[in-house]
Amino acid sequence: MGCPKEFSIKGGMGVALMAKPDKAYTILKTLVDNLSIPVTCKIRILETPEATLEIVQKLVSAGIRAIAIHGRTRDERPQHAVHTDIINYVADRISIPVIANGCSKEVEKHSDIYKFKKMTGCTSVMLARAAEWNCSIFRKEGLLPMDTVIKEYLKLAVDYDNAPSNTKYCVQNILRELQETPRGKQFLDCQTLEQICSVWDLGEYCRLKQSEYQKNGIQGRWQVCPIELEPPTKKIKSCDIDLVDVIQSKVCFIRSNFDDLNLPKTQLHTWAGKNGHKLPTYDTQQVSKLFRSILTFNNKKYTSSFWEKSKKFAEQGAALVCLLHLELITEEELIKNGSIIK
């Protein structure tokens, strides 16, 4: 019950439940009565210590085992000071553990965590943004350099085949204002895990690990396909269907590799027009929320084995495969920009 975002409030979720204590109580009581594990909850403070304590006592009576308290009101944001006094007021008056939250602005080193714990009189502290900015905040020995944290994080992202979008989001939280530096801008242009890793000299590490997974028959994000099309075997080598007489390549369309006037479809259409060929046609298949397009050009069909999140990207991917086989773009170029993993 701590999220103050508009989508949560409009849906009656998050901090909106603070205005409906009876409903919040019923939810928690139902969980407590039907689960064999401890139930906890998180809230934001109300305008006064007394009002905050009143709702906390009601929630405690549902049988919860601990409560996290974010020291800001529904309308306050990170730039506002955290109300340690209200957290302390509540912690002194209830019997279950209280977890203090909302101190990222005040926490710059490991010892600051314990200062906040003492100020609030709580049993423990919950960190979010401070941990996202530099997860070595938990080291008693002190913070690690930013680049060290990013490199170690990227290795884990590669090892566990983390989604590039999520990896990028996490690194953005570490970089913060440094996203505006030359290297930060280079990073923001990245779209694949390999491209991100290359900014920190880990491109080869990424390529070797992904190649290792492919050789071992382990399905990674480069082999993702709709679950309806997955073979029933554990070692998945391919999820291709109905691709007789179709030229297929493992080529991924990466938007940041092309400017608006040089997209694969544009390149192919321009070349076809200059050389007197009929323009290519596209037959796009959608399964679940993924797309794959089969391009027909000069009586030959082309497709990428990489399922895309949009019809537009699927068509661009098919066009890129066609360009490759027409030798209008080289494999070396595609390996270099991350469209092909060798």
What single-letter amino acid sits at 312? K
Lookup: tokens for 221: 């994000």
CA dist 9 → 4, 15, 173 (Å):
7, 7, 25
Cα–Cα distance, 132 to 296 (Å, whole number): 47
Active-site pick, 3, 135, 190, 197: 3
User: Dihedrals φ, ψ of 35, to 5°?
Assistant: -115, 150
8 A C-beta contact, residue 276 and residue 340: no
Work out the number of other CB atoms within 10 angstroms of the CB of residue 160.
7
Cα–Cα distance, 197 to 217 (Å, whole number): 23
Q: Is 166 exposed, middle or buried (0-12, 13-18, 19+ CB in 10 A)?
A: exposed
Cα–Cα distance, 168 to 171 (Å, whole number): 5
**322 an active-site residue?**
no
8 A C-beta contact, residue 69 and residue 42: yes
Cα–Cα distance, 156 to 17 (Å, whole number): 37
Task: Indicate which residues carry an active-site annotation.
Answer: 3
